[in-house]
Amino acid sequence: MATSPKPSGSGPSQPGSSQSGSPRSAAPGGVRLIAAGDEISRIIDRIAHQILEKTDGAKDTVLVGIPTRGEHLAQRVAARIGTFAGIAPPLGILDITLYRDDLRTRGVRPLENTEEPDGGIDGKIVVLIDDVLFSGRTIRAAFDALRDWGRPKAIQLAVLVDRGHRELPIRADYVGKNIPTAREEQVFVAIAEFDGADGIVISPSTPDRAAAMELIKAQGES
């Protein structure tokens, strides 16, 4: 993980990434499809290759997915690293809910899975994996949550989508897609294992998940 000198609210522009996302198709309500199906698999493959390159073949490296969709993404990235390098890195799941800085204002949220990777994180490179990077507050909470597990040698961050509008000096080491957005827009990432299909959709405000999934599935079938 590295800190960014970019001012908060500026559009995303990250190292080690990624084409920017321009809409592929739109639906009623202004919901726009950015990517779907095999394109998501290719993005995951690219992130897996980049992690291998930057961590000397995933040496002393563990992947830690942030629920909900980051958990499934991390499983996919670990499996692809296993395919490319012959051995998959240990995998953990980190629920950051209790470490959020908006617990009091956002109300009660259900707790998710937490599983420490085999062998722990002391002295390891921890690659945090999440679907969307927006304000950066989820990742900040993840730093606090990781402290309960130990002291890694380094923390890196991989995200499928960086949509900009950071409120903290946080940037990702691996970015699937940089998608410039208006602050009020919403990015919805669908992951096949959880949602039934892979895709990335932008909606003008609160995400209409049903409309987003319709668009993603229609694209996957075309």
Ligand X SMILES: O=P(O)(O)OC[C@H]1O[C@H](OP(=O)(O)OP(=O)(O)O)[C@H](O)[C@@H]1O
Give the binding site for ligand URA (CB under 6 A).
Answer: 132, 134, 163, 186-187
Nearer to ligand X, 51 or 159 (CB): 159
Judged by CB under 6 A, does residue 188 bind ligand X? no
Q: Rounded to whole angstroms, what are the CA distances from 214 to 190, 198, 199, 201?
A: 11, 12, 10, 11
Nearer to ligand URA, 61 or 186 (CB): 186
Find the binder of ligand X among 130, 162, 173, 195 (CB under 6 A). 130
Find the binder of ligand X among 4, 13, 20, 135 (CB under 6 A). 135
Judged by CB under 6 A, does residue 131 bind ligand X? yes
Which residues touch 65 (CB under 8 Å, ≥6 apart)? 71, 72, 73, 74, 75, 91, 92, 93, 94, 129, 130
- State the binding partner of 187 from ligand URA, ligand X, none, CB within 5 to 8 A by kind: ligand URA
Q: Rounded to whole angstroms, what are the CA distances from 153 to 70, 123, 126, 129?
A: 22, 4, 8, 17
Judged by CB under 6 A, does residue 55 bind ligand X? no
- State the binding partner of 6 from ligand URA, ligand X, none, CB within 5 to 8 A by kind: none
- State the binding partner of 66 from ligand URA, ligand X, none, CB within 5 to 8 A by kind: ligand X
Find the binder of ligand X among 63, 133, 155, 175 (CB under 6 A). 133
**Closest separation in Å from C-beta 65 to ligand X:** 10
- State the binding partner of 186 from ligand URA, ligand X, none, CB within 5 to 8 A by kind: ligand URA
HSE (side-chain half, CA atoms, 13 Å) at 187: 28
In the complex, which residues of this chain contact ligand X (CB under 6 A)?
66, 68-69, 130-138
